[in-house]
Chain A
Amino acid sequence: MVTGLEQDRIFMELLEPNLEKLWRFILSFIKDKDDAKDIMSDAILAAYENFGKLESHEAFLSWLFTTARRLVYKAGKKKADIFGASHFDLDDFKSGNLSPQEVSELNDLYSALDKLPSEQKEAVVLTSIYGFSTAEAADIQNTVPNTVKVRVYRAKRKLKELLGS
Chain B
Amino acid sequence: MQDLDKYLNTARKAELDNVPFDKDGIGSMLQKHREAGSQNFFKKILSKYGKLKMYSIMSIITASILFISSMMLDSNDSNPTVKAKNIQITIGNDTTNIENYNSDEHDLVDIALNKSTPTVKAKNIKIISGSDTTNIDNYNSDEHDLVDIALNNSTNSINVENTQNNEEDEYEDFISIGSSLKIHKDMLDKDEQGNYIIPMNRGVKEFDKLLTTDEVLTFADKFQKDNRGKFKDTTFLIYSPLNSSQSKYLRWQHLVFDNATWNLNTSVPNSVKLRYASDANAKGRLEYANVNIALDNESDFFRLMNEMENNISKTLDVSLLKELCNVPLSDYYSKLEEITLRIDNADIAKQALLYANMNRMLIGNPFAEFKLKDKGLLLPQESLEKLGFKFYDNKFTYPLDETFTEKSPKFFADEAYNKNKEVLKNGVEEWFINSKDGKLDPEWGKHIRMMLSSTTERSTDSDFLKEDHIQGYVQLSYPELVTSREVNVITPISKRNGHDFGLYLSSLKNSNVSDLKELYNLNAKYRDLQSIMSEKKSDEVSEQDRNELKKLELTANNALHTLKYSKLIPIEIPIPYGIHSKEELAKDDFSSVTLWYYPDEKFLDALPVEIRDKVVKEMNLLESVVAGELPASDACQALDGEESLLGLCNLADMAIQNLNAAPNPTDGNCEISYSLTEERYTKMMLLDNSGRYVKDIADWQNQTTGEYNFNLDISSLPNGNYNIAVFTNKNEKIMFKLMKK
Residues of A within 8 A of B (CB): 1, 4, 8, 12, 15-16, 19-20, 23-24, 27, 33, 37, 40-41, 44-45, 48-49, 52-53, 88, 91-95, 97-98, 102, 105-106, 108-110, 128-131, 134-135, 138, 142-147, 149-150, 153-154, 156, 159-160, 163-164
Instruction: Name the residue in B4, B12, B27, B574 with the highest tally of chain A Cβ atoms < 10 Å from its Cβ.
Output: B4
Can you give 15 contacting A-B residue pairs, CB < 8 Å? A19-B19, A20-B15, A23-B20, A45-B29, A52-B114, A53-B118, A88-B14, A93-B17, A98-B10, A110-B11, A128-B8, A142-B283, A144-B585, A154-B248, A163-B7
When chains A and B are docked, how far (Å) is the Cα of A143 from the Cα of B285? 11
Assess whether A150 is in contact with B591, with CB atoms less than 8 Å apart: yes
Instruction: Name the residue in B30, B281, B574 with the highest tally of chain A Cβ atoms < 10 Å from its Cβ.
Output: B30
When chains A and B are docked, how far (Å) is the Cα of A138 from the Cα of B282? 10
**19 additional contacts (CB under 8 A) given A142-B281, A150-B574, A159-B7:** A16-B23, A19-B22, A19-B26, A23-B19, A24-B16, A41-B29, A44-B26, A53-B118, A91-B17, A93-B17, A94-B15, A94-B16, A94-B17, A95-B17, A98-B14, A106-B7, A108-B7, A146-B574, A164-B731
Minimum CB–CB distance from A114 to chain B (whole Å) comes to: 13
When chains A and B are docked, how far (Å) is the Cα of A15 from the Cα of B6? 29
- Inter-chain contacts of A23 with B (CB < 8 A): 16, 19-21
When chains A and B are docked, how far (Å) is the Cα of A130 from the Cα of B22? 20
Assess whether A131 is in contact with B12, with CB atoms less than 8 Å apart: yes
When chains A and B are docked, how far (Å) is the Cα of A93 from the Cα of B589? 35
- Inter-chain contacts of A12 with B (CB < 8 A): 23, 26-27
Assess whether A144 is in contact with B577, with CB atoms less than 8 Å apart: yes
Minimum CB–CB distance from A141 to chain B (whole Å) comes to: 9
Assess whether B1 is in contact with A156, with CB atoms less than 8 Å apart: yes
Minimum CB–CB distance from A102 to chain B (whole Å) comes to: 5
Minimum CB–CB distance from A99 to chain B (whole Å) comes to: 9
When chains A and B are docked, how far (Å) is the Cα of A27 from the Cα of B591? 30
Interface residues of B in 21-49 (CB under 8 A from A): 21-23, 26-27, 29-30, 33
Residues of B within 8 A of A (CB): 1, 3-4, 6-8, 10-23, 26-27, 29-30, 33, 110, 113-114, 118, 246, 248, 281-283, 497, 574-575, 577, 582, 585-586, 589-592, 731
- Inter-chain contacts of B18 with A (CB < 8 A): 91-92
Minimum CB–CB distance from A139 to chain B (whole Å) comes to: 9
When chains A and B are docked, how far (Å) is the Cα of A88 from the Cα of B577? 39
- Nearest-neighbor residue (CB-CB) of B17 within chain A: A94
Minimum CB–CB distance from A150 to chain B (whole Å) comes to: 5
- Inter-chain contacts of A94 with B (CB < 8 A): 15-17
- Inter-chain contacts of A135 with B (CB < 8 A): 586
- Inter-chain contacts of A95 with B (CB < 8 A): 17
Minimum CB–CB distance from B522 to chain A (whole Å) comes to: 22
- Inter-chain contacts of B26 with A (CB < 8 A): 12, 15-16, 19, 44
- Nearest-neighbor residue (CB-CB) of A129 within chain B: B11
- Inter-chain contacts of A106 with B (CB < 8 A): 7, 10-11, 14
Assess whether B283 is in contact with A48, with CB atoms less than 8 Å apart: no
- Nearest-neighbor residue (CB-CB) of A153 within chain B: B591
- Inter-chain contacts of A108 with B (CB < 8 A): 7
Contact of B110 among A4, A138, A144, A154 (CB under 8 A): A4
Assess whether A160 is in contact with B585, with CB atoms less than 8 Å apart: no
When chains A and B are docked, how far (Å) is the Cα of A20 from the Cα of B6? 21
Assess whether B13 is in contact with A98, with CB atoms less than 8 Å apart: yes
- Inter-chain contacts of B586 with A (CB < 8 A): 134-135, 138, 145
- Inter-chain contacts of B17 with A (CB < 8 A): 91-95
Minimum CB–CB distance from B15 to chain A (whole Å) comes to: 5
When chains A and B are docked, how far (Å) is the Cα of A12 from the Cα of B110? 19
- Nearest-neighbor residue (CB-CB) of B281 within chain A: A142
Across the A-B interface, the 5 shortest Cβ-Cβ residue pairs: A143-B282, A109-B7, A23-B19, A37-B20, A129-B11
Assess whether B592 is in contact with A150, with CB atoms less than 8 Å apart: yes
When chains A and B are docked, how far (Å) is the Cα of A142 from the Cα of B65? 36
- Inter-chain contacts of B248 with A (CB < 8 A): 154
When chains A and B are docked, how far (Å) is the Cα of A106 from the Cα of B435? 50
Assess whether B8 is in contact with A129, with CB atoms less than 8 Å apart: yes
Minimum CB–CB distance from B496 to chain A (whole Å) comes to: 9
- Inter-chain contacts of A37 with B (CB < 8 A): 20
Assess whether A20 is in contact with B574, with CB atoms less than 8 Å apart: no
Assess whether A27 is in contact with B16, with CB atoms less than 8 Å apart: yes
Minimum CB–CB distance from B499 to chain A (whole Å) comes to: 13
Assess whether B577 is in contact with A20, with CB atoms less than 8 Å apart: no
- Nearest-neighbor residue (CB-CB) of B8 within chain A: A128
When chains A and B are docked, how far (Å) is the Cα of A164 from the Cα of B23? 41
Assess whether A93 is in contact with B16, with CB atoms less than 8 Å apart: yes
- Inter-chain contacts of A44 with B (CB < 8 A): 21, 26, 29-30
When chains A and B are docked, how far (Å) is the Cα of A37 from the Cα of B21? 9
- Nearest-neighbor residue (CB-CB) of B115 within chain A: A1
When chains A and B are docked, how far (Å) is the Cα of A71 from the Cα of B303? 42
Assess whether B21 is in contact with A40, with CB atoms less than 8 Å apart: yes
When chains A and B are docked, how far (Å) is the Cα of A138 from the Cα of B10? 24
Minimum CB–CB distance from A13 to chain B (whole Å) comes to: 10
- Nearest-neighbor residue (CB-CB) of A146 within chain B: B585
- Nearest-neighbor residue (CB-CB) of A37 within chain B: B20
When chains A and B are docked, how far (Å) is the Cα of A33 from the Cα of B19? 11
- Inter-chain contacts of A131 with B (CB < 8 A): 12
- Inter-chain contacts of A93 with B (CB < 8 A): 14-17
- Inter-chain contacts of A128 with B (CB < 8 A): 8, 11-12
Minimum CB–CB distance from B671 to chain A (whole Å) comes to: 32
Assess whether A144 is in contact with B30, with CB atoms less than 8 Å apart: no
When chains A and B are docked, how far (Å) is the Cα of A128 from the Cα of B21? 25
- Nearest-neighbor residue (CB-CB) of B590 within chain A: A146
Instruction: Name the residue in A16, A41, A138, A144 with the highest tally of chain B Cβ atoms < 10 Å from its Cβ.
Output: A144
Contact of B33 among A48, A91, A97, A164 (CB under 8 A): A48
- Inter-chain contacts of A159 with B (CB < 8 A): 4, 7
When chains A and B are docked, how far (Å) is the Cα of A106 from the Cα of B7? 7
Minimum CB–CB distance from A164 to chain B (whole Å) comes to: 6
Assess whether A144 is in contact with B282, with CB atoms less than 8 Å apart: yes
- Inter-chain contacts of A138 with B (CB < 8 A): 586
Minimum CB–CB distance from B191 to chain A (whole Å) comes to: 24
When chains A and B are docked, how far (Å) is the Cα of A15 from the Cα of B19? 13
Assess whether A149 is in contact with B591, with CB atoms less than 8 Å apart: yes
- Inter-chain contacts of B8 with A (CB < 8 A): 109, 128-129
- Nearest-neighbor residue (CB-CB) of A151 within chain B: B246
When chains A and B are docked, how far (Å) is the Cα of A163 from the Cα of B33? 44
Minimum CB–CB distance from B46 to chain A (whole Å) comes to: 21
Assess whether B4 is in contact with A156, with CB atoms less than 8 Å apart: yes
Assess whether B589 is in contact with A149, with CB atoms less than 8 Å apart: yes
Minimum CB–CB distance from B347 to chain A (whole Å) comes to: 34
- Nearest-neighbor residue (CB-CB) of B582 within chain A: A144
Contact of B14 among A45, A48, A97 (CB under 8 A): A97
